[in-house]
């Protein structure tokens, strides 16, 4: 490749004062002069943070990437961006996904990098980094951090989905605080993100199915030495991608998005997949909507037997053959000829894949469940749609259900009311949580999988229909309708629901309906008062004023589309 074609030559190839400044200050790190003479500069975008435990091993992972870059003749330069730790950040890491994406976009555009390696792990780090990179559109490859090893507690395998089971057992007095505390250390026993098919693992599968990673990237455990090998090989490959000028826009076609949606249904991926993939599509300029998710998921059964939809863990998934096995099994339903970061097609990448455990990875002929991993419902209660995960339901009979609403006006009302012994509630009741959407919380937190009221738990009730404009943890399960759009805070129909209203859910018919007369709804609408959001400064104010609704990806409206890699002003 001609040196003049390298983007970094706009910095390091200059003569005079500007070139002197660009090179001289870099040389204080001990780089020899010939490093600046035309090697492709590879940015390693690192979301390492000790406040993001899932990504706390990324310093070491970055070193593996660097070795690969050096070997291939590139010049690796690591840079940090905002890290989003799902377990610690308040009010929710989702509030800051778009902010992190802006950090990534501007960091790439403003600096002398010809290609970039995205180090992603915890839930929001993957979509935020991919969104930001899409807005710049230079050669990019993703390296995921990998899942943690399967937890072990009292002789049984456990993972993040068991948090909800432990919590319900603790609330009922079935386990002590000491036992609850012991389980903490037993569950998170290695570096890496959640060991189940939660959002982090779903995002790793998403980028692999989109063609943005090397094969097998999604499932290699973080503690396995092969994770470092994948990082090393990715460092080599990004240098060649720069030479080939293989950009995100060439990989992220409409067909790639269709593949990712079908694969997500087959793996029982997190419902958060929907809002993140919509945002990525909006950045790269591919038309995608909720109807596409439903149409493309509808015919796909569950093929991967992992929690929360099944019984196994990500470590088992890798040993069984990983995502390439799933993709190979599904090739008749995928666009196998799309190009990927390897320079080969999706079909070529999985040609040698082999299933080593049919209990973990099933076939289309004999799936784990016939229920799909994703469904979109619409109706007067969700004019722009809502999503749920049929494969994670604990009671298939709830797929068609009619019940009286018990309404929580916001998260505080929910917490104070859920276990009130005077509540008029039974197993047929529909729990409704308002004002936890993109604007209403703000940030659309993972509170949609509301707990079962204690007195119903004591009767053995483990699942109920739950509806909200919020999200659910990818590790969660149950018959939970999420992402109701428009949200309550902007005056969506959800805002008008009252205790005792009847709600109908019919997943086969893709219907969510509030059984209240038009006249009564008009009366309620006239009395409705908009939610006081109460944030008048900083990023949160910017977010509230510009965030789109869930069915549009909850991105900031001014970030849609690709701005390219041209610097804002090319002078020093």
* 92 Cβ neighbours under 8 A, 6+ residues apart: 441, 443, 444, 445, 446
Q: Give the angle 451-189-83 at the CA atoms, nearest 5°.
A: 75
User: How does pLDDT run across 46-56, given as a tens digit for each residue?
Assistant: 999 999 999 99
- Model confidence pLDDT, tens digit, residues 456-488: 988 999 999 999 999 999 888 999 999 999 999
* Angstrom distance (rounded) from CA 138 to CA 249: 9
pLDDT band with cut points at 50, 70 and 90 for residue 1: very low
Listed range (154-168, 408-422, 428-442) with the worst mean pLDDT: 154-168
pLDDT (average), residues 216-228: 98
Helix (H, G, I), strand (E, B) or coil at 404: strand
pLDDT at 171 over 90: no
What average pLDDT does range 184-202 have in this prediction?
Answer: 94
Reported residue count of the chain is 572
pLDDT mean over 187-214 = 96
Question: What residues contact 197, with CB distance under 8 A and at least 6 apart?
Answer: 205, 267, 268, 269, 270, 304, 306, 307, 308, 309, 314, 317, 474
Specify whether the CB–CB gap between 389 and 271 falls below 8 A.
Answer: yes
Under the banding of pLDDT at 50, 70 and 90, the label for residue 570 is confident
Is the pLDDT at 219 greater than 90? The verdict is yes
| pLDDT tens, residue by residue, 422-459 | 999 999 999 999 999 999 999 999 999 999 998 998 89
CATH for 39-149+190-349, among 3.40.50.2300, 3.40.630.10, 3.90.740.10, 3.20.20.70? 3.40.50.2300
Question: Does the pTM exceed 0.85?
Answer: yes
Confidence of residue 109 (pLDDT cuts 50, 70, 90): very high
Q: What is the pLDDT of residue 568?
A: 80
CA distance 469 to 484: 4
Q: What is the DSSP string of 7-26?
A: TTHHHHT--HHHHHHHHHHH
pLDDT of residue 3: 43
CATH number listed for the domain at residues 375-527: 3.50.30.80
> Cα–Cα–Cα angle for 402, 437, 557, nearest 5°?
130
**DSSP-assigned states of every residue in 342-401:** TSSBHHHHTTT---S-TTTB--SSS-SBSS-S-EEEEETTEEEEEEE-GGG-S-GGGGEE
Structural domain spans, the chain: 39-149+190-349, 375-527
The mean pLDDT value of the chain amounts to 95
Decide if pLDDT at 501 tops 90. yes
Evaluate if residue 81 carries a pLDDT over 80.
yes
Residue 59: count of CB within 10 angstroms of its CB: 12
């Amino acid at each position: 490749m001609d040196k003049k074609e390298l983007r970094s030559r706009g910095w390091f190839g200059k003569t005079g004062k500007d070139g002197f400044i660009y090179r001289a200050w870099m040389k204080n790190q001990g780089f020899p002069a010939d490093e600046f003479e035309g090697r492709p500069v590879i940015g390693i975008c690192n979301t390492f943070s000790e406040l993001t435990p899932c990504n706390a091993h990324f310093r070491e992972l970055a070193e593996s990437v660097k070795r690969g870059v050096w070997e291939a003749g590139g010049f690796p330069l690591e840079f940090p961006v905002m890290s989003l730790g799902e377990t610690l950040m308040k009010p929710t890491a989702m509030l800051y996904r778009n902010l992190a994406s802006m950090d990534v976009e501007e960091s790439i555009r403003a600096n002398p990098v010809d290609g970039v390696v995205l180090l992603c792990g915890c839930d929001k780090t993957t979509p935020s980094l991919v969104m930001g990179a899409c807005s710049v559109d230079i050669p990019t490859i993703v390296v995921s951090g990998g899942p943690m090893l399967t937890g072990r507690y009292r002789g049984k395998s456990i993972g993040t989905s068991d948090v909800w089971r432990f919590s319900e057992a603790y609330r009922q007095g079935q386990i002590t605080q000491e036992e609850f505390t012991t389980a903490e250390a037993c569950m998170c026993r290695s570096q890496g993100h959640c060991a189940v098919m939660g959002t982090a693992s779903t995002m790793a599968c998403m980028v692999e199915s989109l063609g943005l990673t090397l094969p097998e990237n999604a499932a290699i455990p973080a503690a396995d030495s092969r994770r470092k090998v994948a990082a090393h090989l990715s460092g080599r490959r990004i240098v060649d991608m720069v030479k080939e000028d293989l950009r995100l826009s060439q990989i992220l076609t409409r067909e790639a998005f269709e593949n990712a949606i079908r694969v997500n249904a087959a793996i029982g991926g997190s419902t958060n997949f929907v809002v993140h993939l919509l945002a990525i599509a909006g950045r790269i300029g591919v038309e995608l909507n909720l109807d596409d998710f439903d149409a493309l998921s509808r015919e796909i059964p569950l093929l991967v037997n992992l929690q929360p939809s099944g019984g196994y863990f990500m470590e088992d998934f890798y040993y069984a053959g990983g995502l390439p096995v799933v993709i190979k099994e599904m090739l008749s339903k995928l666009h196998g000829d799309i190009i990927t970061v390897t320079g080969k097609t999706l079909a070529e990448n999985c040609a040698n894949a082999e299933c080593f455990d049919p209990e973990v990875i099933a076939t289309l002929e004999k799936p784990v469940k016939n229920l799909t991993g994703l469904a979109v419902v619409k109706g007067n209660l969700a004019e722009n749609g809502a999503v749920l995960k049929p494969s994670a339901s604990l009671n298939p009979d709830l797929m068609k259900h009619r019940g009286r609403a018990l309404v929580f006006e916001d998260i505080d009302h929910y917490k104070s009311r859920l276990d009130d012994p005077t509540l008029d509630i039974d197993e047929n009741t529909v729990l409704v949580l308002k004002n936890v959407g993109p604007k209403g919380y703000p940030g659309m937190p993972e509170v949609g999988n509301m707990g079962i009221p204690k007195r119903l738990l004591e009767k053995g009730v483990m699942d109920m229909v739950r509806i909200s404009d919020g999200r659910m943890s990818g590790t969660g399960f149950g018959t939970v309708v999420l992402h109701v759009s428009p949200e309550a805070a902007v005056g969506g129909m959800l805002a008008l629901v009252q205790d005792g209203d009847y709600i109908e859910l019919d997943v086969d018919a893709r219907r969510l309906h509030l059984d209240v007369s038009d006249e009564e709804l008009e009366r309620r609408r006239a009395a409705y008062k908009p939610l006081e959001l109460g944030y008048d400064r900083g990023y949160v104010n910017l977010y509230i004023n510009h965030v789109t609704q869930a069915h549009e990806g909850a991105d900031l409206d001014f970030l849609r589309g690709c701005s390219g890699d041209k610097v804002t002003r090319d002078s020093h």
